[in-house]
Structure 1
């Protein structure tokens, strides 16, 4: 494996781990401080995720494209902007990072490291919400003007936390990582397959919609600084 590929995979692992640590850790902190007010806990979770996501895309985008999300990596591979030979490695790095991020959050808050969520998230409304969340995320990535991907992705995810019934996972790696946390941000393992299928459907519809809409202002999802990585920002949680 070349040094360049190793750096990309390290960036995807670290970035996804830190993203999940932000999402899960802020959920734990928000729930502890909100005094039982779920809206306040969700608001704290949202604000931390928006800020963390923006920073992580800016930091890791020039190295790996800052996907942190198998649905994004798959879309980029289909578009020829990520070598298809790298897709399995990207996905494995993202899944590993997501699990490690959950464990890191637990360690920071003195919780049991190894746990599984008991929070069931299922039903037609939740699945539609995940398809919508992922559709919007991919469309933003594909059509955001150069230099504005990080801000627009973070802003969209922040909005989607509140307008989707599922609070917008929009990311198979996030669903995978969050099943290892029986916390505010967790999801029961039995609920993960439905979320992942809905997310992949949303990503496929976004690719179709982008093609039907034609060229955008950016004409490419990658920020200029990220182009040498042959991939493009970014992801979610």
Structure 2
């Protein structure tokens, strides 16, 4: 694959995490302790960033920005398996760089580790299955029925899923890993990352079965 595709995945995921973490820092700073208001601002900013990066980088790399999405496309035979590891590495590296860039912009210590303690438990693990399955649902449903609508579909879905999932819809292993590197509003304790990722991968395999059947081209 072209290096341009890998760089697009790196850059897009970096901007995604800048959107997630940077808006989280700003929202937490300005909300005066109102967590609901901070989450609303964080969700809107993340959804807007997703719309922007998917629209602009989709024609370059497919705009995955998410190892779970890359795996889902590979299982469908729509992404070369040889390109899966480099895509995932670029996404993870881009996410971490995006977190560090956010820290630098807001004059915070660049190297951090999250101490957030409330992102664990069976209810949140199940929430990540729902969050990731829903993301794949709007991606593949959009591709099947209205490809031009995929960027707003993803942006709107994640904006809403921040609110209607108990985990606030990470739905992305690269995002999950990167958010372990920030002790800010968007952080996740590194000890909780593995189970979140496991649930996201489970959702990919559920989606491979269910969504392929649901959105089959047969009438």
> TM-score if structure 1 supplies the norm length?
0.88
1:137 matched residue in structure 2: 135
**Match status 1:100 vs 2:97:** yes
8 Å contact from structure 2 (residues 75, 208) kept in 1 = no
- SS of residue in 2 equivalent to 1:148: helix
Which stretch has the larger CA shift, 109-118 or 137-146? 137-146
2:125 matched residue in structure 1: 127
Within 1, Cα distance between the matches of 2:205 and 2:154? 18
1:36 matched residue in structure 2: 33
Root-mean-square deviation (CA), in Å? 1.4
- Report runs of 4+ in structure 1 exceeding 6 Å deviation: none
Within 2, Cα distance between the matches of 1:216 and 1:111? 50
Q: Equivalences for 1:106-117 in 2 at 5 Å?
A: 106-117=103-114
Q: Equivalences for 1:200-211 in 2 at 5 Å?
A: 200-211=201-212
- CA deviations 1:137-188 (Å, max 9, x no partner) are 0111111122110011111111100000000000000001000000000001
Within 2, Cα distance between the matches of 1:170 and 1:17? 16
- CA deviations 1:22-81 (Å, max 9, x no partner) are 100000000000000000000000110011110000011000001000000011111111
Which stretch has the larger CA shift, 142-151 or 174-183? 142-151
Within 2, Cα distance between the matches of 1:206 and 1:177? 24
1:81 matched residue in structure 2: 78
Aligned residues, how many? 215
1:216, distance to aligned residue in structure 2 (A): 6.0
**Match status 1:147 vs 2:148:** yes
**Unaligned runs of at least 5 residues, structure 1:** 218-237
**Match status 1:185 vs 2:186:** yes
Q: Equivalences for 1:55-94 in 2 at 5 Å?
A: 55-94=52-91
> TM-score if structure 2 supplies the norm length?
0.96
Within 1, Cα distance between the matches of 2:109 and 2:175? 19
1:211, distance to aligned residue in structure 2 (A): 2.3
